[in-house]
Amino acid sequence: MTFKNAKIVSVQTDPNIYHRYNPGNNDRGSQKFVMSRSSLMEFNHCPSRWVKGYGKETTDSLSYGNMLDAYILDNSKFADQFVTQPETYTNDKDEVKAWSGNAKACKEWNAAQIAAGKSVISSDQMEMCIRAKEVMYQDEVIKGFLDHSDFQVMIIAEWHDKGTGLIVPLKCLIDIAPRSESYFKHYLGDLKTCRTAAVDQWPREVFKWGYHIQGAFYLDMYEAATGEARNGFNHILQESYEPFEVGKRMLDEDFIELGRDKYEQAMVKYCECLKSGKFGGYDAYSLTRFEGFTSVGPLPYMITSQV
C-alpha cells in the first residue's frame, strides 16, 4: 500500500469545502499541492497544460449532475447551495410580472443570490430533481444501498513515492460509502447521470471518463484510511431526462486493476515531474518523434475501413 497516513476527515462534506482544501500550497507544481484523482488525470493528459492552470469548464450535464448529487446525497444542505428562481416579480409600480432576466428587480435578486454563494436554478430543474429522486428510490436495491450509507466521505492521505522519495498529499471525496453493518459493506459507490444507462454502453463510458481509475483510487484510499478492504465499486446510473430510467453497475476486478495501474503510473509520472521541475507538453512523452515532431499514421480501423 503506497498510501500512508490516510484518514477520514469528514462525512456529509460540502463539495465546495473539499475543492478548496489545499492547506499546503495552492500552486500547481509545488510538492505541497494536494492532488485529487481528477487533478491527477488532467495532469496525466498533459502535464504542461495542467500546471499552467487548465480546468474543465462546467457543462450543462455536469451542472445537472452536481445539482442532483446535492439533492440526493445532502438534501439538508441543498437550500444552502441552490435557490429556485421565482416565476414572477413585482416592479416599481407594484405590478406582478412574469420573471424577466432584463428587469432591474430580477437582476438585483440574481446578484443577491450569487453574492450569498448560491446557484440559481429554474423551477423546471427543481422539478427534475424531485422527479429523479422519486424514480431512484422506487428501485429497492438502490434504496437499500443509499439508506445504509454515509455520503460525501472526504479522505486525505499521502503518496510515498519509491522512485523519487517524494511524499505527495492527496485527497478524495467518495459519494457513497455503505456502513460496515450494511448488506453492501464490501462496496463503495458513486452517482452518475448519463444519456443512456444501457448495459452495453456503460463500459465505454467508464473507459472514456476514467471511472475505473476513480473506483480504484477511492477503494485504495478508503482501505488505507479504515483498514477495510472493499472489493467492489458500484455505480448508480440515472438518465438525465424523463422517465429518468436507472441502472445498477459494478466494476469487475479487471476494470479495477486497470484503473489501479493507470493511477499508479500517473502518480509516478507526477513525482518525476515534481522532482525535475519539468512538466512536458503533449509531444514530450511521445515515443515516435523525429526532428522534434511526433509521427502519426492511420489507426487500424482506418485501414480496414478502406477494404
Looking at residue 306, its pLDDT comes to 57
Residue 62 reports pLDDT greater than 60: no
Q: Is 41 helix (H, G, I), strand (E, B) or coil?
A: helix
What is the C-alpha to C-alpha distance for residues 2 and 260, in angstroms, rounded to an integer?
A: 12
Q: What is the pTM of this model?
A: 0.87
* Phi–psi pair at 71, nearest 5 degrees: -70, -35
- The sign of the CA dihedral 148, 151, 157, 159 is positive
Question: Mean pLDDT over residues 97-109, rounded?
Answer: 89
- Which stretches within 149-304 are classed as H helix? 202-209, 211-226, 253-276, 300-304
Query: What residue has cell string 436507472?
Result: 246
What is the C-alpha to C-alpha distance for residues 223 and 219, in angstroms, rounded to an integer?
A: 6
Residue 87 class from Cβ within 10 Å (0-12 exposed, 13-18 middle, 19+ buried)?
exposed
Question: Mean pLDDT over residues 224-252, rounded?
Answer: 94
- The sign of the CA dihedral 8, 137, 80, 106 is positive
All domains of the chain, ordered by start, with CATH? Answer: 3-85+122-276 (3.90.320.10)
Nearest to 225 by CA among 3, 4, 2, 6: 6
Asked whether 192 and 235 are in contact (CB, 8 A), the reply is yes
Q: Is 197 helix (H, G, I), strand (E, B) or coil?
A: coil
Residue 286 reports pLDDT greater than 80: no
Looking at residue 58, its pLDDT comes to 54
What is the C-alpha to C-alpha distance for residues 160 and 112, in angstroms, rounded to an integer?
A: 46
Going from the C-alpha of 102 to that of each of 3, 93, 118, 123, 170, the distances in angstroms are 53, 16, 20, 18, 45
Looking at residue 206, its pLDDT comes to 94
Looking at residue 1, its pLDDT comes to 61
Q: Is 230 helix (H, G, I), strand (E, B) or coil?
A: coil
Nearest to 2 by CA among 187, 260, 251: 260
First CA to last CA distance, the chain: 49
The model's pLDDT over 136-184, given as tens digits with 9 standing for 90+, comes to 999 999 999 999 999 999 999 999 999 999 999 999 999 999 999 999 9
Residue 246 reports pLDDT greater than 90: yes
Q: Is 185 helix (H, G, I), strand (E, B) or coil?
A: coil
What is the C-alpha to C-alpha distance for residues 30 and 32, in angstroms, rounded to an integer?
A: 5
Looking at residue 292, its pLDDT comes to 80
Asked whether 35 and 266 are in contact (CB, 8 A), the reply is no
What is the C-alpha to C-alpha distance for residues 69 and 63, in angstroms, rounded to an integer?
A: 10
Looking at residue 60, its pLDDT comes to 54
Which amino acid belongs to residue 37? R
Find the farthest-apart pair of alpha carbons in the chain and give their distance in angstroms, rounded. Answer: 74
